[in-house]
Amino acid sequence: MDKAVAALIEDIYDRGLDQDVMVVVTGEFGRTPKINSKKSTGKRIGSAPAGTMQPGRDHWPRATSILFAGGRVETGQVVGQTDVRGEDAIERIVGRGDFVATLYKHLGVDFENASFPDHSGRPVPVMLSDGKPIRELSRA
């Protein structure tokens, strides 16, 4: 994945598309700070034979990473910090609403006022929680 994402980002910048195209790489969770070993079930494609000890990292909702590139964001920085073990976010914690607000801002959506009608015609706001665009990513 590292090579593919790097190649995509390089290509976007080489073609001059970096002002319009934003690349976002994330997942729904971070991964446990420590590698653990569990016995393989042998039931999945690419699994080792049943009983083989396999190192891995489980889901970890307490800290995660998101990569932004292009899309007129200020690059080359780290926003926020975890503790020394990488277990918990401790500084400049960015929430889901902030992430979504950042994407809406890039897309030109007035996320603070935009809504869409539900099945009965009532307006439903596009932002169901508080969120502000990640200020460190904005070019002044």
Q: What domain range is 129 assigned to?
A: 2-137
Q: Model's pTM, two decimal places? A: 0.77
Radius of gyration, alpha carbons of the chain: 19
Strand partners, 22: 70
Q: Which tens digits make up the pLDDT trace of 75-105?
A: 899 999 999 988 899 999 998 899 999 999 9
Counting the structural domains of the chain, the total is 1
Length of the chain: 140
Mean of the per-residue pLDDT values of the chain: 90
The pLDDT confidence band at residue 140, using thresholds 50, 70 and 90, is low
Distance separating alpha carbons of residues 113 and 102, to the nearest angstrom: 15
